[in-house]
Structure 1
Amino acid sequence: MTDTFSNLVDTFKNVGVARAYGDPVQLGGQEVIPVALVTFGFGGGAEGEADGGASGGGGGGMVLPLGVYRNDGGTVTFRPNTVVTLVCLVPLISVLGAAVRRAIRAAKS
């Protein structure tokens, strides 16, 4: 178990800003730097290993491409990924719509 944990630590010790910002790419005469939201988590546990109990672990992650930074002749601008922005706004708009509907019903009563 200790070897597995140390291997996991070695694998993810360089996680940070380098995972959220990609390597610059030349595209159409402009330098483009991809930006993403990167999140992951791990867990594990054991129950009574001395008595022959069970142990286990797991993990998961998610990457959302947020957009790109464009460097066009010294002017840097951020271009958001509109598809991901819209997908992330759907739950917010749904909750806001439900709240407005309830407020209207309460005002009518």
Structure 2
Amino acid sequence: MPNIALELGKQSASLGINAAYGEQRDVGGVQVIPVSLSWTGFGGGSDDAGNGGGGGGGWAVPVGAYIRRGGEVRFEPNIVSLLTVAIPFVWVAGRALSRVIRALKK
């Protein structure tokens, strides 16, 4: 039986930057390159009896796209996805900052 961790490692190495930037598409004379925030994880193991297993998962949020019209390139964000990612981040950062300020006041 092949080592599942090595096989998963080889397969996930090809994800890299391709998972964050999609293939360029031409839509009505406009070139579009989608951008996403992605995360993947894999794990595996076995016990002393030789029983083993593994699994993996992934998550991706489309954050926007690079749009090229003529010679101009600009990023157009996906507002709903950016808010979905930004709200928890801002909440955690605010909580951490308030605790740091409280600790400095003491």
Q: Normalised by the shorter chain, which TM-score bucket?
A: 0.7 to 0.9
What residue identity is the alignment partner of 1:22? G
Number of matched pairs: 102
Q: In structure 1, which of residues 61, 64, 70 is the aligned counterpart of residue 61 of structure 2?
A: 64
Q: Deviation string for 1:31-66 (max 9, x for gaps)?
A: 111011121010111110xxx353221111011111
1:45 alignment partner AA? G
Q: Superposition pairs for residues 17-96 of structure 1, below 5 Å?
A: 17-48=17-48, 52=49, 54-95=51-92, 96=94
* Percent of pairs with identical residues: 39
TM-aligned CA deviation for residue 92 of structure 1:
3.8
Q: CA deviation at 1:9?
A: 4.0
Q: Following the alignment from structure 2 to structure 1, what is the Cα–Cα distance between the partners of residues 29 and 47? A: 58
Report how far residue 6 of structure 1 moved. 4.9
Q: Tell me, which stretches of 5 or more residues in structure 2 are unaligned? A: 102-106
Task: Please list every run of at least 4 consecutive aligned residues from structure 1 whose deviation after the TM superposition is greater than 6 angstroms.
Answer: none
Tell me the SS of whatever aligns to 2:19: helix
Gap change, CA 1:93 and 1:3, over 3 Å in 2: closer
Tell me the distance in 2 between the aligned counterparts of 1:6 and 1:45.
12
**1: CA distance, partners of 2:64 / 2:22:** 11
Structure number with bigger Rg: 1
Deviation at 1:17, TM superposition (A): 1.3
1:70-104 CA-to-partner distances (Å, cap 9, x unmatched) read 0111111001110101112222454548x87xx9x
Further displaced range: 74-83 or 21-30:
21-30
